[in-house]
């Protein structure tokens, strides 16, 4: 009897306690930013880091001017950078920013998971919307839906150390154009200087990312969609074999890739800035500010075209501003207005462009890094003229890269499951780079099977 | 362990006497019930805190293993689908074997090294404090910092820190993290280095509990140092050793920081562990359902391992 009583009492205590908890966790914080009086508050990413005082000042002035011009909108800015790990949970908890600033690789997955909003209805009202570069917008439009606006765009190219080129007897003004030339130059650099001729990375999905980019230059593609909408792996072909074979020979025959091949992009930026790497593939305009911030010499930085295997193509993407999927119509509209104010205007409103460039130059930030333009070529030319007097970047060192941008076809990253595909390809790249006897065909067969499995879940 | 049993033995007769004391049965049950209510009321805050922050999330996450969710729209029940996806992933057996390999290696190194160090430090006539501080120092360094430092030490080629030390004694440079064969042992070295300090301190504390009379008696009987360790030190410390061993097994199976920071599972999947897979499913691929399913499996495996371990070692630990 006593035991029973005790159990009843315990139940009497625990059950209400659990019920209280269940009640607590039912709420959802989304959509409470709209108050009845038409005022709207949006949280935006992209505020410069607090240490960058001049850039923060400029940003805050832009916020103040924007709020004065749009009295019903309040901006709450955050300098926390994009973090894929916390985003989904913040979205679920109602604390994700309204306006997201995401790097190159994220949009396909975000669109696919339905975590970002279709902003077509408000974006199409912008004056400058129709002038956005269609080569960049192709990554952000699906049918009639628009999922983001580019802040800047990028295309793969060859970054190289002009000093090491000179030391190895190579001409720093004419970087290699093909993979065969890259291989020869890499061997010359490592033989002459003892440094890594060609840097390669293979962890945190960068191996798969690079394999994809190189594969495109041989005319390959990563995935294929059948008429019924199903996707299959398409990389088990000669294009990938060419890339992997080249890596194998550079690593084990030429010994021009160095000993350390298990890194990610940040590791290679550090090694390159320290002058230990001759060449590597990345988005040159994106890497340049990091290179300068880490103490790299501007005059040693060279940017060449993406080396080609016959296809005249390069992997391209963009830093994109997107709106989170839980935003209300009013929040979407406010976010797009802010995007125009902060990101687009400095590219087409020449007075704003000059002012922004002046502030950046005064702070010692790189101004005038040649990029793949987000607007038409004419708009970009006018923009370059407007900022000309503040440019502090050795633009001529980028000439081989910029000249190639018009000639190469931009190929986007895989439209579905890009990160999962890269993760499945990392081990392939790592095997070739760390195992002299790696069997390329077997590796590609395994990876193809795995990626088909992954794609079977995406329709 | 002996201490505990003695204490229990000491209290048992008292309780028995209390129970045997005659008294009116009604009043006794009433006071008991009252004290039970009071006890539960005192427990209530703990129930609520634990319930809200531990048990309720555990229940919710168990449910998540059978759902598909993007954390935006309402989750959809998918039955065993997440487990099917998981078991069709060829990386799962590889990760399980890797995790097991890491566990075996880290026990092979991680169990004897701290024990030997503790015995040696306890035998020091002077400088014991300094030795203890030095042994514990690696634990104080934030794991990510120490792991990144080791990544630099393990630089392949002749210029790497570890390789140049090996070069002094005529050993050729090793590839360390850059080769599928040596990557996992490299991670175990780092894990042992950063974790041994805590184990050493616990062993040292246990060693002070061993009665010196036993050693004196053994010495009088002519026991050698080795015999004293085998017949006195180890049996006296068996409770602590067994608990630490279990903690080490559980910790090793949950290894994450080292492979995540140093190798990202590479080269060629040689260091992909179960926790790294969970991380990738959840935060890289956004597939929270499959990640939770794998977490649930891991929890079940850990519970089984602990239960089997406790059962197997019961006779030895309470002897």
Distance separating alpha carbons of residues B171 and B164, to the nearest angstrom? 9
SS (H, E, C) chain A: CHHHHHHHHHHHHHHHHHHHHHHHCCCCCCCCCECCCCCEEEEEECCCCCCCHHHHHHHHHHHHHHHHHCCCEEEEEECCCCCHHHHHHHHHHCCCCCEEEECCCCHHHHHHCCCECCCHHHHCCCCCHHHECHHHHCCCEECCEECCEEEEEEECEEEEEHHHHHHCCCCCCCCCCEHHHHHHHHHHHHHHHCCEEECCCCCCCHHHHHHHHHHHHCCCCCEEECCCCCEEECCCCHHHHHHHHHHHHHHHHHCCCCCCCCCCHHHHHHHHHCCCEEEEEECHHHHHHHHHHCCCCHHHEEEECCCECCCCEEEEEEEEEEEECCCCHHHHHHHHHHHHHHHHHHHHCHHHHHHHHHHHHHCCCCCCCCCECCECHHHHHHHHHHHHHHCCCCHHHHHHHHHHHCCCEEECCCCCCHHHHHHHHHHHHHHHHHCCCCCHHHHHHHHHHHHHHHHHCCC
CA distance A442 to chain B (A): 13
Instruction: For the domain made up of B83-317, give the CATH fold.
Output: MetI-like fold (1.10.3720)
List, for residues B264-297, the tens digit of each pLDDT value. Answer: 998 989 999 999 999 999 888 888 899 999 999 9
Q: CB under 8 Å to A179, separation ≥6 — which residues?
A: A214, A217, A242, A246, A307, A308, A309
Within 10 angstroms of residue B318's Cβ, the number of other Cβ atoms is: 12
DSSP string, B286-314: --HHHHHHHHHHHHHHHHHHHHHHHHHHH
List, for residues B177-219, the tens digit of each pLDDT value. Answer: 999 899 999 999 999 888 889 999 999 999 888 888 998 999 8
Q: Any bridge partners for residue A150, and if so which?
A: A320
Phi, psi of A322 (to 5 degrees): -130, 160
**Cα A376-A381-A385 angle, rounded to 5 deg:** 150
Q: Is residue A385 part of a domain?
A: yes
Q: CB under 8 Å to B230, separation ≥6 — which residues?
A: none
Q: Residue B224 pLDDT more than 60? A: yes
Is residue A84 less than 8 Å (CB to CB) from chain B? yes
Mutate: best of A260, A423, A426, A438, partner B, most B CBs <10 A: A260
The answer to whether the CB atoms of B70 and A10 lie below 8 A apart is no
Q: What pLDDT, on the 0 to 100 scale, is given for residue A26?
A: 38
Residue A269 burial by Cβ neighbours in a 10 Å radius (0-12, 13-18, 19+): buried
Is residue A19 less than 8 Å (CB to CB) from chain B? no
Q: Is residue A257 part of a domain?
A: yes
The answer to whether the CB atoms of B157 and A20 lie below 8 A apart is no
Residues of B in contact with A259 (CB under 8 A): 155-157, 175, 178
Cβ atoms of B153 and B161 within 8 Å: the answer is yes
Q: Is residue A15 part of a domain?
A: no
Distance separating alpha carbons of residues A148 and A145, to the nearest angstrom? 9
Q: What pLDDT, on the 0 to 100 scale, is given for residue A183?
A: 97
Nearest CA in chain A to B25: A2
Which of A142, A82, A144 shows the shortest CA–CA distance to A112? A142
The answer to whether the CB atoms of B71 and A260 lie below 8 A apart is no
Helix (H, G, I), strand (E, B) or coil at B277: helix
Distance separating alpha carbons of residues A282 and A293, to the nearest angstrom? 17
Q: What pLDDT, on the 0 to 100 scale, is given for residue A31?
A: 41
B28 confidence band (pLDDT: 50, 70, 90): low
Residues of chain A with pLDDT under 50: 1, 8-34
Longest Cα–Cα distance of chain A, Å, equals 95
The helix (H) or strand (E) run that includes residue B77 is: strand B76-77
Cβ atoms of B178 and B267 within 8 Å: the answer is yes
Distance separating alpha carbons of residues B274 and B89, to the nearest angstrom? 12
Q: What pLDDT, on the 0 to 100 scale, is given for residue B27?
A: 64
Q: CB under 8 Å to B316, separation ≥6 — which residues?
A: B238, B242
Residues of A in contact with B41 (CB under 8 A): 13
Same-domain pairing of A296 and A330: no
CATH code, domain carrying A370 = 3.40.190.10
Helix (H, G, I), strand (E, B) or coil at B162: helix
Here the tokens at position B204 are 């040292």
Same-domain pairing of A323 and A210: no
The residue with greater pLDDT, B47 or B69, is: B47
Compute the average pLDDT of residues B248-276: 91
Q: Is residue A253 part of a domain?
A: yes
Same-domain pairing of A303 and A443: yes
Same-domain pairing of A307 and A375: no
Distance separating alpha carbons of residues A207 and A225, to the nearest angstrom? 23
Is residue B88 less than 8 Å (CB to CB) from chain A? yes
CA distance A434 to chain B (A): 6
Q: Residue B11 pLDDT more than 60? A: no
Q: Is residue A20 part of a domain?
A: no
The answer to whether the CB atoms of B90 and A25 lie below 8 A apart is no
User: Which residues between 302 and 341 in chain A have a beta carbon less than 8 angstroms from any beta carbon of chain B?
Assistant: 325-326
Residues of A in contact with B266 (CB under 8 A): 202-203, 262, 426-427, 430, 434
CA B214 to each of CA A106, B203, B223, B241, B318: distance values in angstroms, whole numbers, following the listed order = 67, 18, 11, 19, 19
Is residue B90 less than 8 Å (CB to CB) from chain A? yes
CA B161 to each of CA B139, B154, B174: distance values in angstroms, whole numbers, following the listed order = 21, 7, 11
**ipTM of the complex, rounded to two decimals:** 0.75
Q: Is residue A302 part of a domain?
A: yes
List, for residues B146-184, the tens digit of each pLDDT value. Answer: 888 998 899 887 888 999 999 999 888 888 999 989 999
List, for residues B96-113, the tens digit of each pLDDT value. Answer: 999 999 999 999 988 888
List, for residues B205-216, the tens digit of each pLDDT value. Answer: 998 888 889 989
Which of B240, B230, B232 shows the shortest CA–CA distance to B210? B232
The residue with greater pLDDT, A458 or B20, is: A458
Q: Is residue A8 part of a domain?
A: no
Identify which of B52, B71, B264 has the shortest CB distance to residue A88.
B71
Same-domain pairing of A267 and A384: no
Q: Which of A390, A418, A444 is the last residue of a domain?
A: A390
B16 confidence band (pLDDT: 50, 70, 90): very low
Same-domain pairing of A77 and A169: no
The answer to whether the CB atoms of A88 and B48 lie below 8 A apart is no
Same-domain pairing of A270 and A302: yes
Same-domain pairing of A311 and A434: yes
Identify which of A259, A420, A426 has the shortest CB distance to residue B156.
A259
Same-domain pairing of A414 and A296: yes
Same-domain pairing of A85 and A101: yes
B32 confidence band (pLDDT: 50, 70, 90): confident
Cβ atoms of A342 and A46 within 8 Å: the answer is yes
Q: Is residue A7 part of a domain?
A: no
Residue A193 structural domain: 156-316+404-456
Same-domain pairing of A303 and A162: yes
Q: Residue B82 pLDDT more than 90? A: yes
Q: Which of A355, A390, A425 is the last residue of a domain?
A: A390
Q: Which of A366, A390, A414 is the last residue of a domain?
A: A390
Nearest CA in chain B to A263: B263
The answer to whether the CB atoms of B286 and A25 lie below 8 A apart is no
The helix (H) or strand (E) run that includes residue B67 is: strand B67-68
Cβ atoms of A208 and A423 within 8 Å: the answer is yes
């Amino acid at each position: 009897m006593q035991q029973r009583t005790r159990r009843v009492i315990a139940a009497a205590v625990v059950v209400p306690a659990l019920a209280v908890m269940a009640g607590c966790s039912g709420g959802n914080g989304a959509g409470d930013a709209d108050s009845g009086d038409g005022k709207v508050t949006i949280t935006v990413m992209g505020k410069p880091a607090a240490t960058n005082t001049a850039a923060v000042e400029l940003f805050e002035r832009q916020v103040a001017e924007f709020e004065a011009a749009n009295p019903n909108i309040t901006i709450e800015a955050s300098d926390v950078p994009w973090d894929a790990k916390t985003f989904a949970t913040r979205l679920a908890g109602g604390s994700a920013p309204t306006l997201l600033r995401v790097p190159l690789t994220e949009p396909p997955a975000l669109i696919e998971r339905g975590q970002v909003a279709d902003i077509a209805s408000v974006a199409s009202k912008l004056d400058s919307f129709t002038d956005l570069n269609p080569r960049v917008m192709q990554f952000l439009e699906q049918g009639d839906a628009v999922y983001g606006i580019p802040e800047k765009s990028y295309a793969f190219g060859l970054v190289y150390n002009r000093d090491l080129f000179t030391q190895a007897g190579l001409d720093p003004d004419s970087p290699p154009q093909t993979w065969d030339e890259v291989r020869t130059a890499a061997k010359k650099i490592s033989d002459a200087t003892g440094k890594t001729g060609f840097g390669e990375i293979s962890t945190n999905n960068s191996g798969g990312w690079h394999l994809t980019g190189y594969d495109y230059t041989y005319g390959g593609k990563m995935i294929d969609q059948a008429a019924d909408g199903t996707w299959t792996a398409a990389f088990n072909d000669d294009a990938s074999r060419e890339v992997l074979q080249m890596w194998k020979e550079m690593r084990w025959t030429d010994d021009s890739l160095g000993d350390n091949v298990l890194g990610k992009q940040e590791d290679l930026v550090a090694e390159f800035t320290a002058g230990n790497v001759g060449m590597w593939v990345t988005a040159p305009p994106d890497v340049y500010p990091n290179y300068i911030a880490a103490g790299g010499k501007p005059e040693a930085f060279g940017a060449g075209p993406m080396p080609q295997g016959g296809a005249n193509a390069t992997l391209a993407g963009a830093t994109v501003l997107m709106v989170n999927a839980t935003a209300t119509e009013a929040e979407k509209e406010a976010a797009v207005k802010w995007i125009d104010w902060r990101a687009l205007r400095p590219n087409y409103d020449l007075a704003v462009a000059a002012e922004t460039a002046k502030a950046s130059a005064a702070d010692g930030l790189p101004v005038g890094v040649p990029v793949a333009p987000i607007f038409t070529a004419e708009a970009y030319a006018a923009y370059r003229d407007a900022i000309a007097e503040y440019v502090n970047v050795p633009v001529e060192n980028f000439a081989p890269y910029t000249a190639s941008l018009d000639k190469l076809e931009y190929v986007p990253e895989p439209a579905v499951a890009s990160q999962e595909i890269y993760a499945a390809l990392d081990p392939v790249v790592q095997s070739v780079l760390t195992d002299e006897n790696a069997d390329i065909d077997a590796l590609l067969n395994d990876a193809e099977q795995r990626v088909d499995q992954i794609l079977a879940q995406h329709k | 362990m002996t201490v505990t049993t003695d204490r229990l033995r000491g209290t048992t007769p008292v309780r028995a006497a209390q129970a045997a004391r005659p008294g009116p049965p009604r009043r006794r049950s009433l006071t008991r019930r009252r004290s039970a209510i009071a006890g539960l009321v005192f427990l209530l805050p703990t129930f609520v805190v634990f319930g809200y922050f531990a048990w309720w999330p555990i229940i919710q996450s168990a449910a998540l293993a059978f759902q598909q969710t993007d954390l935006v729209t309402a989750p959809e029940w998918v039955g065993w689908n997440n487990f099917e996806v998981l078991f069709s992933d060829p990386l799962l057996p590889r990760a399980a074997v890797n995790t097991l390999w890491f566990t075996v290696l880290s026990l092979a190194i991680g169990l004897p090294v701290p024990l030997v160090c503790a015995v040696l430090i306890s035998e020091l006539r002077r400088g014991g404090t300094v030795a203890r501080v030095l042994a514990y120092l690696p634990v104080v360094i934030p794991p990510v910092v120490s792991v990144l430092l080791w990544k630099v030490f393990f630089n392949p080629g002749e210029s790497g820190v570890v390789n140049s030390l090996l070069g002094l004694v005529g050993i050729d440079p090793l590839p360390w993290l850059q080769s599928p064969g040596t990557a996992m042992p490299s991670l175990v070295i780092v894990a042992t280095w950063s974790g041994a300090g805590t184990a050493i301190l616990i062993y040292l504390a246990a060693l002070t509990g061993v009665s010196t009379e036993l050693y004196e008696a053994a010495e009088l009987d002519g026991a050698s140092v080795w015999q004293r360790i085998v017949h006195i030190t180890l049996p006296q410390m068996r409770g602590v050793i067994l608990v630490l061993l279990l903690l080490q097994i559980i910790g090793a199976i949950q290894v994450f920081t080292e492979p995540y920071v140093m190798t990202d599972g590479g080269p060629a999947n040689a260091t992909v562990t179960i926790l790294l897979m969970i991380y990738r499913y959840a935060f890289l691929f956004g597939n929270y359902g499959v990640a939770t399913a794998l977490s649930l499996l891991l929890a079940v495996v850990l519970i089984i391992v602990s239960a089997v371990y406790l059962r197997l070692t019961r006779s030895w630990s309470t002897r």
